[in-house]
């Protein structure tokens, strides 16, 4: 028998901790937390590997490929996120390898939806010039109008989408 996992943190504790980590990040780096910037750089790097002529000529990826696109603060940060998430999951018994899906769909369908969702999120994050972390969370913490407009779009579309996506999760 496996020991049961430890419960998730209470929301007030988790939110306060997240706010303090965000504040610390502002103080040491001058900007907030992010995530999508890394995947943009990973995409530029991958394109440079698979289609070097196209990628270096591309007006969006080209500038990244002038140097090593992955050599950036946001890459170290994402490495840190993965290490921190792994440490937390292992220490609490919440690490579980596999596909997480709703009770009404199988693992294969879940992966197909995950891929499609990822494509939309990747495109959307370039359009917004950031994601839930960079604009929604960090932007809103600076009281940027952009942060709250982003969150309005995010929550609005999420609720709209949930009317069609109930079968995937519930």
Partner 1 sequence: MILPMYDNGLLSGLLAGFLFGYVLEGAGFGSPRKLTGQFFLRDWSVFKIMFTAVIVAAFGLWLFEVLGWLPPRAVFVPSLLVYGTFLGGALIGFGFILGGYCPGTSAVGFASGRLDALVFMIGMVIGSSLFAAVFDDIRGLALAAVEPRGLTLPQLLDVPAILVIAGLAGIAFAGWKLGTLVERRLGGPYGAEEVLESVDGPRGEDLQPLGRGSVQPAE
Site for partner 1 in 96-115 (CB under 8 A): 96-103, 106-107, 110-111, 113-115
Q: Is 3 in the site for partner 1 (CB under 8 A)?
A: no
Q: Is 69 in the site for partner 1 (CB under 8 A)?
A: no
* From 52, 67, 149, 167, residue interacting with partner 1 (rule: CB under 8 A): 149
Q: Is 141 in the site for partner 1 (CB under 8 A)?
A: yes
* From 3, 66, 69, 124, residue interacting with partner 1 (rule: CB under 8 A): 124
160: how many CB neighbours lie within 10 A of its CB?
10
Q: Is 155 in the site for partner 1 (CB under 8 A)?
A: yes
Q: Is 67 in the site for partner 1 (CB under 8 A)?
A: no
Q: Could you tell me which of 31, 48, 47, 38 has the C-alpha nearest to residue 70?
A: 38
Q: Is 57 in the site for partner 1 (CB under 8 A)?
A: no
- Residues 71-90 touching partner 1, rule: CB under 8 A, are 73-89
What are the structure tokens assigned to 84, written together? 């921190």
Q: Could you tell me how many residues of this chain bind partner 1 (CB under 8 A)?
A: 130
Q: Is 65 in the site for partner 1 (CB under 8 A)?
A: no
Using only C-alpha atoms, the chain has a radius of gyration, in whole angstroms, of 18
- Is residue 74 within 8 Å of 41, Cβ to Cβ? yes
Which letter, b or e, does each residue of 114-151 get, where b requires 16 or more Cβ atoms within 10 Å of its Cβ?
Answer: eeeeeeeeeeebbebebbbbbbbbbbbbeeeeebeebb
């Amino acid at each position: 028998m496996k020991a049961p996992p430890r419960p998730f943190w209470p929301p007030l504790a988790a939110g306060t901790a997240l706010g303090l980590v965000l504040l610390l990040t502002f103080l040491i780096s001058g900007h907030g937390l992010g995530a999508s910037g890394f995947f943009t750089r990973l995409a530029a790097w991958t394109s440079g590997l698979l289609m070097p002529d196209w990628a270096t000529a591309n007006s969006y990826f080209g500038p990244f490929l002038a140097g090593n696109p992955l050599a950036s603060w946001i890459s170290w940060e994402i490495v840190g996120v993965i290490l921190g998430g792994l440490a937390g999951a292992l220490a609490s018994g919440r690490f579980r390898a596999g596909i997480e899906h709703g009770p009404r769909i199988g693992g294969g369908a879940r992966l197909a939806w995950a891929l499609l969702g990822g494509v939309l999120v990747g495109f959307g994050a370039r359009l917004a010039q950031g994601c839930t972390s960079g604009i929604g969370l960090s932007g809103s913490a600076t009281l940027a109008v952009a942060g709250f407009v982003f969150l309005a779009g995010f929550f609005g579309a999420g609720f709209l989408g949930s009317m069609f996506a109930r079968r995937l999760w519930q």
